[in-house]
Structure 1
Amino acid sequence: MIKGLLGIIDKMHIEVFPSKEYIEPPKKTIIVQLNPEKYTMKHNVVFCESQATGTSGSDLSFNRIEGEEVTFDFFFDSSGIVPPGKIKDGKGEETFLDAVGDIANALKPAIVNPFGEVETVEKDVEEFKNLLMGYDGDTHQTAYLRLLWGGYSLSCRLKSMDIEYTLFRKDGRPIRAKVKCTFKGTVSYKIMVAKENKSSPDLTHERIIKMNDNLALLSESIYDNNSFYIDVAKNNKLLSFRKVSLGQKIKFPPIK
């Protein structure tokens, strides 16, 4: 918000979470050095193939829809031409001073000391890699991540990382790198089961009121419990659970 008001481009954020529930605040937030120029999304349907003896074709039976995959290229540069990325604790929310600092860095001339030694990007790339795919000895898992960029959001885990170094100092140490990352979307078992079960009380349902429909009975059929109809009435701003009009659309929110 602050950056938008000051005309600074919002950078992509990668939040690193301690568990698969995504309930606790993130441990760290990576703010990338440069926004990716593009990204590739992949959606995959898996079939079971069966072919009868003596036939030339196969019968495809639906098996599953795999989680979304997305690939980004991240750039690291320590030459001083581009302001550095950031790694912050928690959600990494930008303050007014952060935004002012970004403006100052953007306006600062890129002057490189010809007698100085340019820092390498090895440390930044290694820290980035450890946050995204470092193994946690307590949970016996790699990191749970959330990608945030504009309106795009994906809860995911890192599937693969390719590191390409493209510019070097005289001693052969890299000062520029392109890191290609493929992330695979993930959901908790509870949410996955809820999505696959169309009548699950963990999903929001909509019903169009028909003749002889009763809010209490509809609530009981969805929640498998006869005590939520008052909450449904309040959620739909009804004056009374008995005053439901024919053809009215009623939403039944998930149980929290």
Structure 2
Amino acid sequence: MSDGTLAKLRIEAYTDSRFNNQAPVPSLVVPINPAKYSRNGRISYTDNKAAGAAGASPVFDRMEPETVTFELVFDATGVVPQPGGVNSRNGVADQIDALRAVAYAYNGDIHSPHYLKLAWGSFLFKCRLQSLDLTYSLFAPSGIPLRARATAAFVGYTDEYLLQAKMKKSSPDLTHMVTVQAGDTLPLLCHRIYGNSRYYSQVAEANGLTGFRDLRPGQQLIFPPLAGPA
């Protein structure tokens, strides 16, 4: 149940593709929630028909990653309280710098920008920044920008380990991803996947669980293969 506090869009940065290690930069909580966002998916097909053929016979190739686009507004006119409750003398520059540090800046330790988590209420999206367009629209007499709109497009990210799991093949020698239902236990799920409940400790370790009872409905678990590569 909500406590009445307004949930704000939060952008968290990570340094690994499994989203286990948070980057040493502050997460960004946007001062103004977006009025809307778009979420798009795409399926790629191939068509081997000869040129000039009437019609097409598309053959499934792959699922393209989803993309999510937000328009974020940053304001330093004094109308909107600034992070920390203090209006910035630098206009919106500090807020834009914070956005860049989280999502756009190159991290030399991982040789790329950060892996990102977008969290807003029930919305959770693991991704990487694809593009960032900034538009400045209001200025102080000194020329310092006081308002900016950032159109940020994010492309969904799933590491190879999870991609194998999402295929949901039936063999116990392949990786599986399972969504926990009410009443599920780790030994029961292991018996369902592997035909034997004794692998629960390995599954707990693979998912970073401190105990085999640490399950909650809706949680997604990885069940690694019994043999062979993930």
TM-score, normalised on structure 1?
Answer: 0.66
Give the Cα–Cα distance (whole angstroms) in 2 for the partners of residues 204 and 133 of structure 1: 33
2:131 to 145, 152, 160: 160
Deviations 1:71-125 (A, max 9, x none): 0011111111101246xxxxxxxxxxxxxx7xxx9xxxxxx9xxxx964212321
Matched-pair contact (CA < 8 Å) for 1:78–1:175: yes
2:54 to 53, 56, 74: 56
RMSD of Structure 2 on Structure 1 (CA): 3.5
Residue of structure 2 in register with 1:18 after alignment: 15
| Structure 1 residue 65, shift from structure 2 partner | 0.7
| Structure 1 residue 55, shift from structure 2 partner | 1.7
Matched-pair contact (CA < 8 Å) for 1:11–1:35: yes
Q: Relative to structure 1, is the Cα distance of residues 127 and 196 closer, same or farther in structure 2, using a 3 angstrom cutoff?
A: same
Give the Cα–Cα distance (whole angstroms) in 1 for the partners of residues 40 and 79 of structure 2: 33
Matched-pair contact (CA < 8 Å) for 1:51–1:58: yes
Gaps in structure 2 of 5+ consecutive residues: 181-186, 204-211, 214-220, 225-230
| Structure 1 residue 203, shift from structure 2 partner | 2.1
Matched-pair contact (CA < 8 Å) for 1:201–1:255: yes
Higher-Rg structure is 1
| Structure 1 residue 25, shift from structure 2 partner | 4.1
TM-score, normalised on structure 2?
Answer: 0.73
Matched-pair contact (CA < 8 Å) for 2:70–2:151: yes
Matched-pair contact (CA < 8 Å) for 1:118–1:169: no
Give the Cα–Cα distance (whole angstroms) in 1 for the partners of residues 200 and 95 of structure 2: 54
Q: Relative to structure 1, is the Cα distance of residues 229 and 76 closer, same or farther in structure 2, using a 3 angstrom cutoff?
A: closer
Count of residue correspondences: 198
Amino acid in structure 1 at the alignment position of 2:159: S
Gaps in structure 1 of 5+ consecutive residues: 87-100, 106-111, 207-214, 237-252
Matched-pair contact (CA < 8 Å) for 2:10–2:118: yes
| Structure 1 residue 29, shift from structure 2 partner | 1.4
Q: Relative to structure 1, is the Cα distance of residues 229 and 74 closer, same or farther in structure 2, using a 3 angstrom cutoff?
A: closer
| Structure 1 residue 197, shift from structure 2 partner | 4.0
Matched-pair contact (CA < 8 Å) for 1:201–1:223: no
1:181 to 128, 136, 152: 152
| Structure 1 residue 225, shift from structure 2 partner | 6.9
Q: Does 1:9 align with 2:6?
A: yes
Give the Cα–Cα distance (whole angstroms) in 2 for the partners of residues 120 and 202 of structure 1: 49
Mapping 1:33-182, distance limit 5 Å: 33-85=31-83, 119-182=90-153
SS in 2 for 1:80: coil
Give the Cα–Cα distance (whole angstroms) in 1 for the partners of residues 112 and 59 of structure 2: 33
Amino acid in structure 2 at the alignment position of 1:164: T
Q: Relative to structure 1, is the Cα distance of residues 201 and 226 closer, same or farther in structure 2, using a 3 angstrom cutoff?
A: farther
Amino acid in structure 1 at the alignment position of 2:166: K
Q: Relative to structure 1, is the Cα distance of residues 55 and 135 closer, same or farther in structure 2, using a 3 angstrom cutoff?
A: same
